[in-house]
Amino acid sequence: MKPRVLVAIVVALVAAAPLVAPPFYVTLLNYIGLYSLVALGLVLLTGVAGQTSFGQAAFVGLGAYTTAVLTTQYGMSPWVTLVIALAITLVIGYILGIITLSMGGHYLPLATIAWGMSLYFLMGTIESFGGFTGITGVPPVSFFGMALTQESHFYYFIWLVTLLALWCVANLLDSRPGRAIRALKQGTTMVEAFGVHPGRMKTAVFILAALLACLSGWLYAHLQRFVNPTPFGINQGIEYLFMAVVGGAVSVWGAVLGATLVTLLKTWLQDLLPKLLGEAGQFEIIVFGVLLVILLQHAREGLMPFLQRFVPSPKRALPEAGDRLQHRSMPAAGEPVLEVNKARKTFGGLVAVNDVSFDVKAREVVGLIGPNGAGKSTCFNLISGALDATAGSIRFMGQELTKASASAISRMGLGRTFQHVKLVATMTVVENVALGAYLRGTKGIVASALKLNRADEAAALAEAMRQLQRVGLAEHAHDPAGSLPLGKQRVVEIARALAADPILLLLDEPAAGLRYAEKQQLAQLIKTLKGEGMTVLLVEHDMDFVMGLVDRLVVLNFGQKLAQGLPEAVQADPAVREAYLGV
């Protein structure tokens, strides 16, 4: 069965439910819709972007309380309060995100615990909020004078919003910013190399998740027509997270699956446990906690992958290859591209790169080689911007690189690959390559979510296809990148770097771990690229691989330049022989 048909069936079932199901189930479905919205944000934040929040319930509370207070005490229209609630959430999300996410690591979830606690206490303390008894008499939402007072009417409103949100998030994930978000888990070095600002991107995702939670809260207040602090405590926060983990990140529908299963389980447990234990209390939390631990120990991807086995992934048509993006002007052969002048890097007392100088001219292939620990990788990182040089200068097309960030360097026209392949294993090959063209596109999160990015998107995918054809991997365009053998993954990395339209291609140990035949194919590809006018600097330790390939070699040992020149001369140099064979 095609996924499109499956989605249509789900929508039809949702539409028919209130007509056939008893009211109790309609209520349950209402809650599932509300929870799905929150879980959807967490799927995006936790599953896709690799961050998390325990404070989503507080954002739900923020939405609910904002509208409850403003409608009951100031007589505002719910539509106005929706805008205000979203605006407040945006500001708070931005502040929390900017403080915690630029540091990386685990500060965001910790901050959200504290934020959740303090908002919960605040809601219960402020007098005009009604303390722990809450606020009653919240007005209904009206459409053109028709008030949604009946639960079954409100049901359609909730599910319309939920399905729209699912559609928007699915669109977003399948777009320029979406690819960047999906790449965040690979670590910051890789996304920065293509011009993505990881801290800002994570903050945007966090805000988006917070906005979805706030929306859910606003709906909740107008469904219940009453709010009190209880459903916005930290316990509920963990239940939302549980839903997201149950659903997993492989599909936006995971949020609905998670919300449904957890809600049904909770209803059943609340019925069963007090009978079993002979006491009343929130004992379902024990079961939830245990299940969450078991899930994270044994099925970190959630339950969605088990269901997806029954749904074949759609065979999408290959995008047409094309060349619709802007190009930069390329230097003429022989012009200096990279000039490294007395570059130096020290770590504490250790001199890793000791006054190394060399240059790369346009349309040249230069190999930077040396035995283990010679300082090649450090040298590479100085050029790519992953490390700052202690002294000396590195100029690229006449511009100083030593203090530039990795994304600024990428903007200048330096494309790179990684020694340990950094592809997003779950994205297709063509999506991975399209990430390389990130800086050549413009459409942001909002445009992508609303699908106002068609031209931009088509151009990026056409460019990605063009590069895949160039490196000979077009037939793998729709395969998940993780399913390719290492040799091909390295070539995909080269295609991704090419998609950024670079002047200089930096290859970090491209032959490492490859078999003989793969190495030969790779060497052939590099030669072809050189023939097409590309300038290449490759860092390698495999002498065999570089010998027939490069125009010039630069040899490092103990952080210093040992020799440079034509490959054969370098190979015969006694100092090089000694460095490689030992004394």
Partner 1 sequence: MSEVLLEVSDLHVAYGQVEAVRGVSLAVPSGKIATVIGPNGAGKTTLLSAVMGLLPASGRVRFAGENITGRDTEALVRMGMSLVPEKRELFADMTVLENLELGGFSRRRAGESRAALSNTMEEVFALFPRLKERLPQLAGTLSGGERQMLAVGRALIGKPRLLLLDEPSLGLAPLITRDILATISRLRATGLSVLLVEQNARAALQTADYGYVLETGELSLEGPADDLLHDERVIATYLGKR
Partner 2 sequence: MDVSIAALLTQDGLTNGAIYCLIALALVLVFAVTRVIFVPQGEFVAFTVLTLAAFEQKQLPGTVWLSLALGVAAASADIVAHRREPGRMLRAIAGSAVPCLLSALLVWGVFATGAGWAFQVIATVVAVMAMGPAVYRVAFQPIATAPVLTLLIVSVAVHFVLTGLGLLFFGAEGARISPFTTVSFTFGSINVSGQSLLVYAFTAGLVIAMAVFFKVTLFGKALRATAANRTGARLVGVSPNFAGRLCFTLAAAIGAASGLLIGPITTVYYDSGFLVGLKGFVGAIVGGLASYPIAAAGAIFVGLVEAFSSFWASAYKEVIVFTLILPVLLWRSFNTTHHEEE
* Residue 515 binding partner per list partner 1, partner 2, none, with a CB distance cut-off of 5 to 8 Å that depends on partner kind: partner 1
CB 385 within 8 A of CB 409: yes
Q: Rounded to the nearest whole angstrom, what is the least distance from the CB of residue 350 to partner 1 in the complex? A: 8
DSSP structure class, residue 187: -
For residue 175, report the phi and psi dihedrals to the nearest 5 degrees: -150, 180
- Judged by CB under 8 A, the residue of 20, 317, 516, 531 near partner 1 is 516
| 87 φ, ψ (degrees, to nearest 5) | -65, -45
Q: Look at strands 552-557 and 365-369 and give their pairing.
A: parallel
Is residue 272 within the footprint of partner 2 (CB under 8 A)?
no
Q: Is 515 in the site for partner 1 (CB under 8 A)?
A: yes
Query: Which residues have CB under 8 Å from 100's CB, separation 6+?
Result: 107, 108, 110, 111
Name the binder of 456 from partner 2, partner 1, none, CB < 5-8 A by kind: none
Both tokens of residue 375? 């300082």
**Which of 509, 510, 530, 555 forms a contact with partner 1 (CB under 8 A)?**
509
DSSP conformation letters of 254-299: HHHHHHHHHHHHHHHHHHHHHHHHSS-S-THHHHHHHHHHHHHHH-
- Report the largest interatomic distance among the alpha carbons of the chain, rounded to a whole angstrom: 91
Kindly report the backbone phi and psi dihedral angles of residue 484, in degrees, each rounded to the nearest multiple of 5, phi listed first.
-80, 155
Among 321, 469, 558, 560, binds partner 1 (CB under 8 A): 558
Strand duo 146-147 + 399-400: pairing? unpaired
Query: Which secondary-structure segment (H or E) carries 527?
Result: helix 516-531
Q: How far apart are CA 136 and CA 432, in angstroms?
A: 51
Question: Is residue 380 within the footprint of partner 1 (CB under 8 A)?
Answer: no
Contact call for residue 292 and partner 2 (CB under 8 A): yes
Among 73, 79, 118, 272, binds partner 2 (CB under 8 A): 118
Using CB under 8 A, pick the residue from 357, 543, 551, 560 that binds partner 1: 543
Give SS3 for 154.
helix
- Closest contact distance (angstroms) between CB of 262 and partner 2 is 13
Q: The tokens 């609630």 sit on which residue?
A: 85
Chosen residue from 19, 20, 317, 581 binding partner 1 by CB under 8 A? 581
Q: Which does 76 bind (CB under 5 to 8 A by kind): partner 2, partner 1, none?
A: none
Structure tokens at 555: 């040899």
Report CA-CA distances (Å) from 577 to 184, 543, 555, 561: 43, 11, 11, 14
Out of 3, 50, 444, 482, the residue judged to bind partner 2 by CB under 8 A:
50
**For residues 314 and 85, what is the distance between their CA atoms, to the nearest angstrom?**
38
Asked if 94 interacts with partner 2 (CB under 8 A), we say no
State which of residues 3, 17, 104, 551 lies at the interface with partner 2 (CB under 8 A): 104
| Partner interacting with residue 292 (select from partner 1, partner 2, none; CB below 5-8 Å by kind) | partner 2
Rounded least distance, CB 300 to partner 2, Å: 7
Among 489, 505, 523, 549, binds partner 1 (CB under 8 A): 489
Minimum distance between the CB of residue 418 and partner 2, rounded to whole angstroms? 11
In angstroms, rounded to a whole number, what is the distance separating the alpha carbons of residues 252 and 168?
10
Binding positions for partner 1, rule: CB under 8 A = 349-350, 371-373, 484-486, 489, 509, 512-513, 515-516, 541-545, 547, 558, 571, 577, 580-583
Binding positions for partner 2, rule: CB under 8 A = 46, 50-52, 54, 95-96, 99-100, 102-107, 109-111, 113-115, 117-118, 121-122, 125, 187-189, 234-235, 238, 241-242, 245, 277, 279, 281-283, 285-286, 288-290, 292-293, 296-297, 300
